[in-house]
Amino acid sequence: MDLALFDLDNTLISGDSDFEWAQFLIAKGVLDRDLYEARNIEFYEQYKAGTLNIDAFLDFQLRPLAHHPRRVLDAWRDEFFAQRIRPLINAKARTLVDSHRQRGDLCALVTATNSFVTAPVARDLAIAHLIATIPAHEQGEFTGCVRGIPSFREGKIQRVEAWLEAIGLWWGSFARTWFYSDSQNDLPLLSRVSNPVAVDPDATLRAHAEALGWPVTSLLA
C-alpha cells in the first residue's frame, strides 16, 4: 500500500477555496465589502508570495464563523460548494484521485483551508481522510479560533504524522509516498515524501521542482 496526499487549492480545484469563501460571504452581504474584500485579496497575495502570517489570516477567516448559528453556516456552505467550488473540480483531478484509490493507496486531502469549508470537497472526491486546519467549536457552534496546529507549511507534516500515528502507521509503513501540490508553501511536505509532484506550480515551486528533477504536471482542463 502506498500513501497519496493531495493539496486542494489550485491543485485539485482550479481556484482557492479560502479566498472564494470570503468572496462568497461578501457577495451575500454577510461580510462588509469595504472592510473585508481588500484584506481578503491582500492575504491571498501574501499566500502566493510565501509570506502569509497564518495566525493573522486565521483570525480574519475564522472569526466570522462565530457570528452566525451553525445551521445557517451549514446552509451557506452547501450553497457555496455547489455554486463556487464544485465547478472548479475538473475531470483530470477526479481521474488522478481515482487512480490512487483504485490502486488501493491510502488517500488524504491535506489543506491549509479549514475543515468546515473543505469537508464537502473531500466527500465529493471520495477522499476518506481530510487533514485541514480545524476551527474550534463549543457545543457545535464555532468560537472563531483555531484548534491545534494549523495545516500549513511545516504544520502539514506534523498533522500528517499525527494522523498516521493515530491509525497505527508511519512514513515507513509505505513503499511510496506521494504529495501533489501547486504551492511553494508546501515545499516542506513535498520534500518529505518519496514522490513529490508539482501540479500547475507557482514560479518558486516550478524552479525547485526542475532543479531537483521532480515531475511537473497539470490538472487544468
Task: Select which of 2, 9, 78, 202 is catalytic.
Answer: 9
Find the length of the chain.
221
Query: By three-state DSSP, how is residue 142 classified?
Result: strand
Smallest CA-to-CA distance from 110 within 12, 199, 202 is with 12
Active site residue 18: no
- For residues 137 and 118, the answer to whether their CB atoms sit within 8 Å is no
Write out the DSSP string of 46-91.
HHHHT---HHHHHHHHHGGGGGS-HHHHHHHHHHHIIIIIGGG--H
Residue among 187, 178, 124 at smallest CA distance from 153: 187
C-alpha to C-alpha distance for 44 and 51, rounded to whole angstroms: 10
Active site residue 7: yes
**What count of other Cβ atoms lies within 10 Å of the Cβ of residue 120?**
17
Three-class SS of residue 173?
A: helix
What percent helix, strand, coil does the chain show, rounded to 5? 55, 20, 25
Cβ atoms of 151 and 133 closer than 8 Å: yes
Residue of 7, 18, 182, 186 marked catalytic: 7
Q: Which sequence positions are flagged as catalytic?
A: 7, 9
